[in-house]
Amino acid sequence: MRELLETVRAWQAEGAALGRAVVVRTFGSAPRPEGATLVVTADGRLAGSVSGGCVEGAAYEEIQAARAAGVSRVIRYGISDEQAWDVGLACGGTIDVLVEPYLRPEVLAAAGGSAGSVIVIPLPADAPAATFGPHPRGAGEPPSRSLRVADDGRLGGSSGLPEADAVIARVARQLLARGGSATVAAAGRQYFLEAYPAAPRLVIVGAVQVAMPLARIARELGYATVVVDGRAAFATPERFPDVDRLVVGWPDEVADEIGLGPADAVAVLTHDVKFDEPAIIEGLRRGCRYVGAVGSRKTQADRRARLRAAGVTDAELARLRGPIGLDLGGRAPAETALAIMAEVVAERYGGSGAPMHTLAPASSPA
């Protein structure tokens, strides 16, 4: 939903009425994940996607029908569903799509907010359960009131079912930590948890050449960016026009100022002991989710010896990524930046960094 904000706000400024479809569950090789959204105006404009093109036409018609009837419904599209062949989803995936007659303002607020939150939408009573197979199109029901889970994991309001509240709060905290959205079943009802975690942040120590493409790539991936360097001549708006924050100072001295903490990824790029090592120590001791530093293997070995002498524990050192980045083979600044960002993303989602073809199951002989 976040990628649609600019378009949606422009339409709302025109007074356009909006309906929405959102993927709430996937099976198999579904083309879009949970949370993928299609927004449609009453006059026929659309933005977003729930299927990469396979079922957009059908979803469009369902949104307009929902607007006319004033009800929400969950519709299943997949190769086991005869309707799916009509709309073109014959690629092996199955999706459950929640269609609603309007775009919930609380969803829009969560998508546009800086603090993380999860919007909890009770699904219609006739929504398909989490089992693969055909599902008849239900009559739907008026949209139910949503709940919100704040960035600290607290559930605002109640479903009226203590068992469901406990499940919702637990799953919402997981989604706020790792991103994504999910449908959960509890106490005989189903709930779609649409998560909008606070934007991840990348703190770049060293306003060097690699830092410039790294900041651009991170921003494209939705990361807030901070560049820190003690040299004012390097840390300039001309070199870094799009970063969220540019700080001139020593990394350990500005850590409190920038609120360095566990949710941050830190990339140390300066090749200078007096900058590198204080930044590494701060990142490790504050529990930053990713701490990586440039340097050859010999440089890394010497650095680790000095860090141990400075009191950094072996457990802390085990979290240090050095040399930084994945082995992509390239050495140009933008290629190095890509390798660094690839490792940051892999860490965030628990990815292996291995080629996808090595992870895919072997196909059966024909």
pLDDT at position 28: 79
Would you kindly state where each structural domain of the chain is located, as residue ranges?
A: 14-196, 201-349
Q: May I ask the CATH architecture of the domain 201-349?
A: 3-Layer(aba) Sandwich (3.40)
pLDDT at position 366: 39
Per-residue exposure over 306-321, b if at least 16 CB sit within 10 Å of its own CB, e if not: ebeeeebeeebbeebb
Helix (H, G, I), strand (E, B) or coil at 266: strand
pLDDT tier for residue 365 given thresholds of 50, 70 and 90: very low
Which amino acid belongs to residue 147?
L
Closest CA to 205 of 259, 175, 247, 164: 247
**136 compared with 304, residue with greater pLDDT:** 304
Range of lowest pLDDT (70-84, 167-181, 295-309): 70-84
pLDDT at position 132: 66
Tell me: pLDDT of 325 over 90: yes
pLDDT at position 362: 54
pLDDT at position 364: 44
Tell me: pLDDT of 51 over 90: no
Q: Can you tell me the mean pLDDT for 324-337? A: 96
Tell me: pLDDT of 284 over 90: yes
pTM flag (> 0.85):
no
DSSP track, 92-158: SEEEEEEEESS--HHHHHHHH-SS-EEEEEEPPTT---SS-S--PPP--BPPPPPEEEETTSPEES-
Helix (H, G, I), strand (E, B) or coil at 278: helix
Contact 78/94 with Cβ under 8 angstroms? yes
Closest CA to 1 of 83, 110, 87, 161: 110
**Model confidence over 265-282: pLDDT tens digits?**
999 999 888 889 999 999
Tell me: pLDDT of 335 over 90: yes
